[in-house]
């Protein structure tokens, strides 16, 4: 079901609540441990279609700013869930592909994140089969984000059409190196190497 079929809470009210949620998360006694664990996840960051859509992607330089973007997005989603009648489908608002990828690194710390969310009193909603990568500047997510924190960093908030264009470029480059279907298959025979 499309996000547009829901009566979403106002972007402004979601923004206000999201700021409160993010502040509470950052003030939590386990926030530093959560941050360290999420950033350490970098050894598992091998997605060919998430972070690489960032121009001149550099894990070391980009992971901290992406953590902030991921936290802001989880806060927006928690606010939508809370204010929108706890509807999981509604909560999956459009997100830029690199930011979504960072949220996966954060959610890979389930115990820490669950304890923080419980103390803050929010639900963290992120379900891969319902997520939307069709973020475009000016949409609901963008409007709520701007109301909370100002314009999102375009380096990470790559619009849907541009992300798809970049993915086509990446796919062609991966294929030249023997990686097919954007890294979902390859033609490397390790015995022969």
Segment 116-156, tens digit of pLDDT = 999 999 998 876 666 668 899 999 999 999 999 999 999 99
CA atoms within 13 A on the CB side of 112: 18
Distance, in Å, from the CA atom of 186 to the CA atom of 175, rounded to the nearest integer, reads 8
Q: N- to C-terminal Cα distance for the chain?
A: 47
Residue with more model confidence, 112 or 49: 112
- In this prediction, residues 28-34 reach a mean pLDDT of 97
Q: Please state at what angle helix 31-40 crosses helix 110-120, rounded to 10 degrees.
A: 150
Q: What is the pLDDT of residues 152-179, one digit of tens each?
A: 999 999 999 999 999 999 989 888 887 8
DSSP structural state of residue 10? P
Give the pLDDT band of residue 2 (cuts 50, 70, 90).
Answer: very low
Whether the Cβ atoms of residue 86 and residue 123 lie closer than 8 Å to each other? yes
- In this prediction, residues 80-107 reach a mean pLDDT of 89
What pLDDT shows up at residue 1? Answer: 38
Which H/E stretch holds residue 113? Answer: helix 110-120
Task: Give the range with max mean pLDDT: 49-58, 89-98, 110-119.
Answer: 110-119
CA proximity to 95, closest of 137, 134, 144 = 134
Distance, in Å, from the CA atom of 137 to the CA atom of 96, rounded to the nearest integer, reads 10
Whether the Cβ atoms of residue 180 and residue 174 lie closer than 8 Å to each other? yes
Query: What is the pTM for the complete model shown?
Result: 0.88
């Amino acid at each position: 079901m499309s996000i547009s079929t829901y009566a979403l809470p106002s972007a402004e009210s979601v923004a206000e609540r999201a700021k409160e949620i993010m502040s509470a998360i950052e003030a939590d006694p386990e926030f530093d441990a959560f941050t360290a664990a999420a950033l350490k996840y970098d050894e598992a960051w091998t997605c060919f279609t998430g972070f690489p859509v960032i121009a001149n992607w550099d894990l070391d330089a980009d992971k901290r700013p992406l953590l902030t973007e991921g936290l802001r997005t989880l806060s927006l989603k928690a606010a939508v869930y809370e204010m929108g009648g706890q509807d999981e489908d509604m909560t999956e608002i459009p997100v830029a592909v690199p930011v979504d990828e960072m949220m996966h690194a954060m959610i890979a710390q389930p115990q820490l994140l669950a304890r923080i969310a419980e103390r803050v009193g929010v639900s963290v909603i992120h379900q891969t089969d319902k997520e939307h990568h069709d973020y475009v500047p000016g949409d609901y997510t963008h409007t709520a984000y701007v109301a909370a924190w100002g314009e999102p960093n375009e380096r990470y908030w790559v619009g849907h059409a541009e992300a798809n264009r970049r993915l086509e470029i990446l796919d062609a480059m991966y294929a030249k190196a023997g990686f097919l279907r954007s890294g979902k298959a390859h033609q490397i025979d390790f015995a022969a190497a």
